[in-house]
Structure 1
Amino acid sequence: MKIRILTIGQKMPSWVTTGVEDYLKRIQPFVQTQIIEIPMAKRGKNDSEADILKYRQIEGDAILAALKNNEVLIALEVGGREMSTERLADTMKGWMLEGHDIVLAIGGPDGHSDAVRKKAAWHWSLSKLTLPHPLVRVMLIEQLYRAMSINHNHPYHRAG
């Protein structure tokens, strides 16, 4: 199993890059993981609802174009399924047993396109809180690492 994180947006603050790179190094012994940044569609100052739909479509098309055969798409978004870290660890065990490569998609500031939502095997929310996209990157890779730590009895995750 391999995990790819497709994320809309580039040029992250240094604290995001540092955090993501740290957890990417940590997770590699457990599961090959890669982050691919997809450029955000150019936005204007006074965008209409039609403009926002167009941006979603452009970004969604880029996400779908980046998918490979045998990859299962999971869309991160508000309103998705929430789960505990322990449940994520169990879910990741299932992914490994099924042998599918996983793509976790983080949409742009306007969310995912309908096409991405339809293609996604399921939808995942990291929190009921509205989170800034740079923070989502760090939280996501940390939770993936923590789940793999649980599955490999690594001391990083300590219950209680």
Structure 2
Amino acid sequence: MKLKILAIGQKMPTWVETGFKEYHKRIQPMMNTDIIELPPAKRSKNPSSAQIDHYKNQEGTAILTTRQKERLWVLDVKGKMLSTEALADKLQNAMTDGTDIALVIGGADGVSAEVLAQADFKWSLSDLTLPHPLVRVVLMEQLYRAMSIIHHHPYHRGE
């Protein structure tokens, strides 16, 4: 199984790059994971709701054209919340099926209706509003933790 993270946004702060790279390096022996950064739509100040929809649609087109035949998992505030153990089970099922995954981190305004409509799974990391740069680090850490559970690595010490 391969996991491709499709993330709207480029030029992350150093602390994000450092945290992401650390977990990215750790997870590679367990799961081939890559990130593709897609440029955000150019935004105007104080956009109307129609302009915001336009931005989301532009970014959605970039996401869907970058995705190949992978199953589409989308981070969405209205998605299903998972425990780390449930995430491990979901990843284990995908590995057993030989399913590749494209996991989407949307832009500042979320993802387009078209991306959500094509999603095989909508996942919420938290009820909290998290800044998109932090999401990258939290996501990679949780993927690594889930893979640690699957591989019986001591990183995750369940109760």
TM-score by length of 2: 0.98
Structure 2 counterpart of 1:51: 51
State the alpha-carbon separation in 2 of the partners of residues 46 and 83 from structure 1: 34
Residue-by-residue CA offset, 1:46-78 (whole Å, 9 max, x unaligned): 211111010000000000000112x00011010
Instruction: Please tell me whether residue 111 in structure 1 is matched to residue 117 in structure 2.
Output: no
State the alpha-carbon separation in 1 of the partners of residues 53 and 153 from structure 2: 44
State the alpha-carbon separation in 1 of the partners of residues 2 and 55 from structure 2: 29
Letter in 1 for 2:135: V
State the alpha-carbon separation in 2 of the partners of residues 129 and 141 from structure 1: 18
Structure 2 counterpart of 1:35: 35
Cα RMSD after superposing both structures:
0.6
State the alpha-carbon separation in 2 of the partners of residues 8 and 79 from structure 1: 19
After TM superposition, the structure 1 = structure 2 runs for residues 80-119 of structure 1, keeping only pairs within 5 Å, are 80-119=79-118
Structure 1 counterpart of 2:67: 67
Give the SS at the match of 2:36: strand
State the alpha-carbon separation in 1 of the partners of residues 76 and 22 from structure 2: 24
Runs of 4+ aligned residues of structure 1 deviating over 4 Å after TM superposition are: none
Structure 1 counterpart of 2:128: 129
Residue-by-residue CA offset, 1:17-59 (whole Å, 9 max, x unaligned): 0000000000000000001100000001121111101000000
Give the CA deviation at 1:108: 0.4
Q: What 5-or-longer segments of structure 1 have no aligned partner? A: none
Give the CA deviation at 1:159: 1.6
State the alpha-carbon separation in 2 of the partners of residues 115 and 98 from structure 1: 26
State the alpha-carbon separation in 2 of the partners of residues 85 and 56 from structure 1: 29
Structure 2 counterpart of 1:3: 3
Give the SS at the match of 1:141: helix
Residue-by-residue CA offset, 1:88-121 (whole Å, 9 max, x unaligned): 1111100001111001101001111011001100
Letter in 1 for 2:90: T
Letter in 1 for 2:34: Q
Letter in 1 for 2:60: G
Structure 2 counterpart of 1:79: 78
- Count of residues in Structure 1 that have an aligned counterpart in Structure 2: 159
Letter in 2 for 1:17: E
TM-score by length of 1: 0.98
